[in-house]
Chains A and B, each alone.
Chain A
Amino acid sequence: MTMVSSAPRDPRRTGRYVYATAVFLLCAWVLGPLYLLFVNTLSSPEAVNSFPKTYVPEFNFESIEFFMEFAGMTGALWNSIQVATLTMIMSILVGAPAGYALSRFEFKGKETFRILILLTRAFPLPLLALPLAVLFIRTGLDDTIFGLALVHTTLAVPFAVLITFSLFSGIPMELEEAAWTLGCNRLTAFIKVVLPLILPGITASAIFAFVISWNEVFAAAVLTIENRTLTAFLLQNLDTSALHLKFAGGFILVVPALIFIFAVRKYLFAMWGIANR
């Protein structure tokens, strides 16, 4: 009897170990590189190149100071924020109605349409950039925040459509129908009943749009000259720069995006709450 009681382990405890390990690994996967970026940004060039590495920052601001004096940094940062915000707004304005239509209406070629949306991501930008740039130069969209945001919106729309499509599908049609019987029309039912429910999901696709725009280099480098985004301005020059400046530049590119995601994170968590229910 005693033998039997000691032999089988509680499966739930094993499960908890697996869960904890998985959580730990996921956190390490994200936080590890960020921490190394942080430490090396705040280390002197000698420390960055030396071996073994230290894992404690020495708070040397040499690399950061270099970028503070680097001509055009703040302008590029401001351009990046403008383009990313505009991309976010436009991709939601275009993507959300498309997602709603896909989930609520039956129409001819619906499946084809869903595939076609994904096709906008099927062509590499370097292939599209030349004709786009020619068109932009001819129409005057060249080197404008709005023109670049248009391109980034095209890249972000598939995500916006697919995310909002699955969100709308998760909200029972009956809720809307109930609202109609209580005096709402299609629009007011949407605004009063559906919109509050999917707002977190909208935020998620907004974050996607923001990050896509923030990270995009090629179109930004070709389509803007005076109004460069931070990524176009820095990223293509970092790969050939000295190691300590690579770290500092990477840090500068990552931080604003992190701040943005932290600012909107509670909406994101709320969406996962919906998914769990």
Chain B
Amino acid sequence: MKLKVKLTSAVSAIALSLTAVAVQADVLFWSTQAKPVEEAQAMRDQVLSGADMAVDYQPNDGGPWLTRLNAELQASSGSIGVLGALHGDFSAMDDADLVDLGSMGVASASATFNELAKLGTGDMQYIPWMQASYIMAASKEALPYLPEGADIDALTYDQLIAWAGNIKEATGEAKFGFPAGPKGLKHRFFQGYLYPSYTNGVVRTFASDEAVTAWEKMRELWAVTNPASTNFSFLQEQLLNGDAWIAFDHTSRLAGAFNERPDDFVAFPAPAGPTGRGFMPVIAGVAIPRTAPDMEASKAVVAHMLKPETQLATLRATNFFPVVDVELPGDLPPAVQAAGGAVAKMSGSADANPGLLPAGLGAKGGDFNRVFVDSFERIVLAGQDIRTVLDDQKGKLAAIMNETSAPCWAPDAPSEGACPVE
């Protein structure tokens, strides 16, 4: 009998201590960003340690991130307090599942970003958190081969192709690196750089005659591209080991090269085509799922992420730039300085033609990317006829647009209803 009493009290003590733990549990920050171990560590040590409450920062692959979130939403009981993800991840979600953050009184300094964060609804579905872009980087070894008269800060696609061609001729190796690997972000190059630069559009002009020219240029560029690029996903690696002398990639995927050997590399704007210098900003946001266990604590974390000093700490940790007005100090890491300069030149150039992230596609975002990746594989890798491929893919693109009835986004001209593929 005594033993039984003892056992019962022990069990209830354990149960009590377990619930106690559950009550004081940290706010779970469930993120798809700052995933590399070094960045995750910096997020915990430098960014979130300044918050008033304990935050458990957990970066994940997209699959587990979404599956876990959906499970909590379906079970209507959650442990996730704050979500951190790209604009595209949020736009794939049901807007009823995200708490309206409009009343919080925090927002980014950019009206465009704030509008994007509404995801086509009237409410603030997420708060813009940090931004980045895609830029070019080159090893200083490549600079002597720049074509005559070319300004590295105002290159054209033809000059870029000539430059990489000069290097191939001189060294016998193709040294342009392109993120065409399985985890590479090649589709963003087509959507935000090649298409806006050649066709002044993405969806409307997908199969236009200008698009045929664009893909012809892509073929020329591929001829002077390191053929191993189909394995490259983080060009900082290839810059560091010399497989690529010139590279296009996401700023945070080039950061490693600049931070490791700052004197060996230069960052510069993406090239320009006949219709301007296309480039694409990347936006990550923070949101709160409706199942968050402690809404007040979650909102406090979101507010913390938007403070100027937190934004600077985030910049140091992840190489993603602030979305609020903040003076950048002089002692930033080399990668941040290099990328910051290149992005500023790119967006400030006279012929700048910014393309926004695809919006309003919902869960079809992946299919939308697939259209561009498939076109690349068929036209450039498999050498199929450009016109045939574009006419073929056009149908798939039109189906996606009609199904989601997503309106056009810049640089495509605005549309009534679904953006048409012309």
Contact = CB atoms under 8 A, between A and B. Distances in A.
Contacts of A134: 71, 74-75
Interface string B80-104: 0000000000000000000000000
B380 to A, nearest CB: 25
Contacts of A143: 79
Contacts of B36: 237, 240-242, 245
A232 B64 CA distance: 10
Nearest to B291: A137
A147 to B, nearest CB: 13
Q: Which of B41, B44, B64 has the most CB of A within 10 A?
A: B64
B241 A129 contact: no
A23 to B, nearest CB: 32
Interface stretch (B54-62, B155-163, B196-204): B54-62
A218 B63 CA distance: 8
Interface in A234-248: 234, 236-243, 245
Interface of B: 25, 28, 35-38, 40-41, 44, 56, 58-61, 63-64, 67-68, 70-72, 74-75, 77-79, 183, 234, 236-237, 240-242, 256, 260
Interface stretch (A43-51, A160-168, A190-198): A43-51
Contacts of B240: 49, 243
Contact of B68 (A71, A133, A240): A133
B40 A237 contact: yes
Contacts of B236: 242
A46 B234 CA distance: 17
Interface string A208-239: 00000000011001100110100010101111
A12 interface: no
Interface in A95-130: 126, 129-130
B58 A225 contact: yes
Contact of B241 (A45, A49, A69): A49
A70 interface: yes
B93 to A, nearest CB: 14
Question: Which 6 A-B pairs rank lowest in CB-CB distance, beginning with the nearest?
Answer: A133-B71, A221-B64, A137-B75, A241-B36, A49-B240, A236-B61
A16 interface: no
A117 to B, nearest CB: 26
A98 B68 CA distance: 33
A137 B79 CA distance: 10
A272 interface: no
A71 B37 contact: no
A211 to B, nearest CB: 21
Contacts, number: 95
Contacts of B183: 239-240
A245 B35 CA distance: 13
Nearest to A46: B260
A249 interface: yes
Contact of A240 (B72, B77, B234, B241): B234
A134 B350 CA distance: 53
B256 A242 contact: yes
A59 interface: no
23 contacts: A66-B38, A70-B37, A71-B41, A71-B44, A126-B63, A129-B64, A130-B70, A130-B71, A130-B74, A134-B75, A137-B72, A137-B77, A143-B79, A218-B63, A218-B64, A222-B64, A225-B58, A225-B79, A236-B61, A236-B64, A240-B35, A243-B237, A245-B38
Given A218-B64, A222-B71, A70 B242 contact: no
B68 A222 contact: yes
B35 A236 contact: yes
A13 interface: no
Interface string A175-191: 00000000000000000
A124 to B, nearest CB: 11
Interface in A23-63: 45-46, 49-51
Contacts of B72: 133, 137
B241 A51 contact: yes
Contacts of B70: 130
Contacts of A217: 64
B206 to A, nearest CB: 30
B50 to A, nearest CB: 16
Given A237-B36, A240-B35, A222 B241 contact: no
Nearest to B236: A242
Contacts of A221: 60-61, 64, 68
A222 B64 CA distance: 5
B63 A241 contact: no
